[in-house]
Amino acid sequence: MNPVDDHLAENLKVLFVGFNPSIRSSELGHHYANPNNRFWKILYEAGLTARKYEAAEDAQLLEMGYGFTNIVERPTKAADEITKDEYREGREVLTQKIEKYRPKVVCFVGKGVYQEYSGRKSAPWGKQGDQTVPGVIDFVAPSSSGLVRMKINEIVDIYRQLHEFK
């Protein structure tokens, strides 16, 4: 399995952070490439993009100020395959990336991603009260996985809150 390249630049509007690449993303080399993942649909329906992009176009979103990375590089079938050591190492690497690139907002795509990163046991949806990297807003959004049981319109409403920070 191949890791999926980050798409990073300085001063991004939003850096989207997932758990790790799916097997499909690893095969294709693009973020959120699993056909059951609703990420690209959510961005469009939340008004964050003018059209529904395809996973193969992920690098193009840098031009809009959106970047992509994961807390763990290793692709897996499911996030429960990620080890504690991988999370520990991933937290350190992710913090270095955030400190270097200084996005306005880090959007954790999944509450569990944020909990693993921050060490907090709970978190509300949306902007967090505390910042893990000073000067960078932490934002928690639902996972875009098709396994998430929330209604799509509820998920979209949470992502729509990112307009406040653009």
Q: List the catalytic residues.
A: 20, 31
State the Cα–Cα distance between residues 11 and 62, nearest whole angstrom: 11
Between the alpha carbon of residue 85 and those of residues 1, 17, 164, the distances in Å are 19, 18, 35
Q: Which residue in 137, 109, 117, 116 sits closest to 31, CA to CA?
A: 109
What are the backbone angles phi and psi of residue 12, rounded to the nearest 5°?
-65, 155
Task: Name the residue with tokens 């050591």.
Answer: 85
